[in-house]
Structure 1
Amino acid sequence: MAHQQLNHEEERILLQPIKAQGPSAGKLKSSMLSASFNFINSIIGSGIIGLPYALNQAGLPFGLLLLVVVGFITDYTIILLIKGGNLSGTNSYQALVQSTFGLPGFFILSALQFLYPFIAMISYNITTGDTLTKVFQRIPGVGPSHILAERRFVISVITLLFTLPLSLYRNIKQLGKVSFLSMVLTLTVLIIVIIRSATLGPEIPPTDDAWPFAKINAIQAVGVMSFAFICHHNSFLIYGSLQEPTLSNWTRVTHVSVGSALVISAVFAVAGYATFTGYTQGDIFENYCGDDNLATFGRFCFGLSIITTFPLECFVTREVLSNVMCKRDLSRTEHAAMTFVIVAVCTAISVVYDCLGVVLELNGALSATPLIFILPSACYLKLSPGRWFHPHNLAPCVLIGLGLFFMITGLTMTGVFQQDCSHGREMFYCTDSNVSSTLSP
């Protein structure tokens, strides 16, 4: 009987449009295509650059399997999250958790939902500083000691000229075209990585442990993958922007967005790892030689893509703070002030700390894993009319257990097995004559 009640309830939710409330109400609405662009763009951020390193940690076959599993879990829990919101009559991740677990759950979720995009913005700045400084050094007259080769200066200027102005937009729909541009740039980077896998990869001797099925650091790889795929903090924001926010429309948007991101991520990860095998670093562009013009163009495209992704995370960070502090629409002055403080703090941290791999692993285990695995499943189980161990609720129960395991183990291993963090140091194969001839135009 409980199973039948659950099916009837889900059928009602699937067909019923939900009216937007709160900060999103009354704003311009997005088409499903525009929402998909925003969603894909929120998934494919700086995290994708660490996926080849994740395969280096996990082993290529097992790492690729883990990537597919994380993609499927992401798709499942995004839909589960919106189902829980509709079952509880809430229209935000925070409101859902508060209605389910009370004020303690609200504050825990708010902390996680703030922490993830905030740390993500820091990683975006780190990536921008790493990639664009190498691009500028290819300009005649710009050497390692030039101000354009100084990552702190580049991050500060990019923030003032681009990321801060874009982050000041009040409506996420206004970033639809910017998100499409970011997707085109990311696909360009993907093509470059594939080309270099075919042309540069054969010239670099593989390491002795290049092709095992699995490696001991696979748990850390899950953290990097979770960071790359987390988009739950954006889900209600993008769902509420749909012209017809029904669960059926949202399911299609989710399948298209996560499926596209999974294909792009898998190809990027395999091509990047196959090129450098055991030498693969946390930032894949650190593996390419400084005089590689094609890689330099890829750095430029990826840096520009990251700049256009930054505002999406700022939207979420600002929304969380406004919900906790104000619980109403911000005035223009409050909106501008809060945006400035968020961007300024992110910039200050990113110019001081610059190890991207550790940031990806830490953010994945600390905030992405509970946001993907634990909280959506726990909320749905609490709201579901069936028993927890009913077959219909078995998957959410398993996901809670996996999430706790990956979170605790990932944080422990990140502290014990810290990666070597280096910037601007040429790899040994860059001085090889065969490699140099491969990179020549």
Structure 2
Amino acid sequence: MTTMLERISASFTDRKRRRNAKPHHQNPVPDTKRDAVEGGFDGSSFTGAVFNLSTTIVGAGIMALPAAVKQLGLIPGLVMIILCGALTESSVVMLLRFTRASKSSTYSGVVRDAFGGIGRFILLICIIFNNMGMLIVYMVIIGDVFSGTWSKGVHYSGVLEEWFGQRWWSTRPVLLFLTTLFVFLPLASFRRVDSLRYSSALSVVLAIVFVVITAGVAIVKFIDGSIEMPHLMPQFTGQQSFWKLFTTIPILVTAYICHHNVHPIENELKDPSHMNAIVKTSLLLCSSVYIATSLFGVLLFGDKVQDDVLANFDGDLGVPYGSFLNDVVRVSYGIHLILVFPIVFFSLRLNLDGLLFPHAIPLSFDNKRFCFVTTILLAFVFVGANYVPSIWDAFQFTGATTAISVGYIFPAAIALRDTRGVATKKDKMLSLFIILLAVSCSTVALSSDLYSIYNNETTLDEDPLLS
């Protein structure tokens, strides 16, 4: 009699480029077949895929965009948001085209086709480090929102502390542990990315709630004349301020990274030919949210906008019901990040499993391995969130290295390699431009970050009042 595992396995059919695969515990799946079945089950809708991809894009990076736009100046900042969105669309569409040509079904598969096992290994490491860093940042911010945080000796109260006072269950470690156990673990237990479509839809709605409130407060204050005109162009106070402009590039890049979840989402679609339209729709939606957040965030807070604009919603907004709106913004964004967590975790788990067990049967068919990898990753993220020193330094360094590699360098390098002979002259020219831009911006951003850290440490050592 056909076993349940064989019946499920037989349902895996790549409608475009892949053969049926029937994995069995006694016969490990070769690397080439592993890519063909790792994606999941068929049947996802266009709308569900848009929500899942949009949730992958809109994470914690949105809160750093107003500060990045303030530093660049309003006009160049908004132009850069649009440019990064266009480059992201080009890189994803190009990546999908070469994926089909190589008859692969995963990002790592098309990279292996172009650069062999070493290229696949480097890509998986980049995705793992990028996603792990993002998840730790998400958990840190969730702790900041609900339990509060300390910064430069000043305590910023969390929402739960303000509402209920100090309680044992609202302390940071306990709250993060309870959230991991009762929220992240159940959501991370889904074996299909399409199962997260409803949580992703709610996540996108909550991001829009944040934009609507920010826009509403900014418009009210603009009408009563209490908003100053923001700087339209960057303000230079010296050579260091010029080079510091490049540190905004990793922030913008990180805000658009979604390449690691494109293939799992495509593999579950009823009609994979819709994937290009899904990418364009998602990027248009997210770019609109990013532009509105940056524009109204800069208008509302001006030069006082923080690296994390959420920190600006801790004081008096100067409008009726300001305290209530502050709480709504913080709670909605905290829940938004909680719902973003599982969609990023899904990709992290798949890629780590692909790195550690490249010839095993698909993860969704092995209960013990699935539980083991899920538990280990959640524990690692939980520990990291309790000891990470600075989330924004992490944003800049991961954005300038792993995020740029995953989002731009690898797709462009695949086109330049062109092992299948499908790249056009336009593809190669665009790929060369993307690589030169990515490498130069990454180098300058890293150098500027390291210089700033060294400069701050030197200042603290020389000035006893600051140390």
CA distance in 2, matches of 1:236, 1:109: 14
Change beyond 3 A, Cα 1:410–1:232: same
Change beyond 3 A, Cα 1:420–1:244: farther
Among 265, 289, 302, the alignment partner of 1:277 is 302
Identify the residue that residue 445 of structure 2 maps to in structure 1.
410
Among 259, 263, 267, the alignment partner of 1:236 is 263
Change beyond 3 A, Cα 1:72–1:384: farther
CA distance in 2, matches of 1:228, 1:210: 23
Aligned residue for 2:255, secondary structure, equals helix
Gaps of 5+ in 1: 1-15, 422-441
Runs of 4 or more consecutive aligned structure 1 residues displaced over 6 Å after TM superposition = 201-205, 384-389
- Which of structures 1 and 2 has the bigger CA Rg? 2
CA distance in 1, matches of 2:420, 2:210: 47
CA distance in 1, matches of 2:427, 2:355: 34
Q: Is 1:286 aligned with 2:311?
A: yes
What are the equivalent positions in structure 2 for 1:87-126 lying under 5 Å apart?
87-126=101-140
Q: Deviations over 1:27-55 (max 9, x none)?
A: 24211111111000110111111111111
Q: Is 1:340 aligned with 2:365?
A: no
Give the alignment's TM-score, normalised by structure 2. Answer: 0.80
Identify the residue that residue 260 of structure 1 maps to in structure 2.
285
Identify the residue that residue 179 of structure 2 maps to in structure 1.
158
Q: Structure 2 counterpart of 1:62, which letter?
A: P
Among 194, 197, 213, the alignment partner of 1:192 is 213
CA distance in 1, matches of 2:298, 2:389: 22
Q: How far 1:299 sits from its partner (Å)?
A: 0.7
Q: Deviations over 1:342-389 (max 9, x none)?
A: 111111111112533222212211111111221101102212666989
Q: Deviations over 1:252-286 (max 9, x none)?
A: 11110011100111101111122222222121111
Q: Is 1:137 aligned with 2:161?
A: yes
Q: Is 1:325 aligned with 2:356?
A: yes
Q: Is 1:179 aligned with 2:203?
A: no
Identify the residue that residue 13 of structure 1 maps to in structure 2.
none
CA distance in 2, matches of 1:384, 1:147: 59
Identify the residue that residue 64 of structure 1 maps to in structure 2.
78
CA distance in 2, matches of 1:100, 1:66: 30
Q: How far 1:289 sits from its partner (Å)?
A: 2.7
CA distance in 1, matches of 2:297, 2:40: 44
Contact kept in structure 2, 1:28 and 1:171, CA below 8 Å: no
Q: How far 1:161 sits from its partner (Å)?
A: 1.6
Give the alignment's TM-score, normalised by structure 1. Answer: 0.84
Contact kept in structure 2, 1:358 and 1:419, CA below 8 Å: no
CA distance in 2, matches of 1:390, 1:184: 40
Q: Structure 2 counterpart of 1:183, which letter?
A: V
CA distance in 2, matches of 1:313, 1:40: 11
CA distance in 2, matches of 1:115, 1:149: 29
Change beyond 3 A, Cα 1:153–1:245: same
Aligned residue for 2:350, secondary structure, equals helix
Q: Structure 2 counterpart of 1:222, which letter?
A: I
Q: How far 1:418 sits from its partner (Å)?
A: 5.0
CA distance in 1, matches of 2:329, 2:277: 31
Which range moves more in the overlay, 120-129 or 275-284?
Answer: 275-284
Contact kept in structure 2, 1:59 and 1:218, CA below 8 Å: no
Identify the residue that residue 47 of structure 1 maps to in structure 2.
61
Identify the residue that residue 248 of structure 2 maps to in structure 1.
221
Gaps of 5+ in 2: 1-14, 20-34, 148-157, 237-241, 317-322, 457-467
Among 433, 444, 447, the alignment partner of 1:398 is 433
Contact kept in structure 2, 1:48 and 1:265, CA below 8 Å: yes
Contact kept in structure 2, 1:54 and 1:63, CA below 8 Å: yes
Please tell me the root mean square deviation across aligned C-alpha atoms, in Å: 2.6
Change beyond 3 A, Cα 1:58–1:152: farther
Q: How far 1:56 sits from its partner (Å)?
A: 2.3
Aligned residue for 2:271, secondary structure, equals coil
CA distance in 1, matches of 2:446, 2:330: 30
Aligned residue for 1:138, secondary structure, equals helix
CA distance in 2, matches of 1:277, 1:136: 28
CA distance in 1, matches of 2:291, 2:298: 11
Change beyond 3 A, Cα 1:420–1:204: farther
CA distance in 2, matches of 1:227, 1:187: 19
Change beyond 3 A, Cα 1:19–1:37: farther
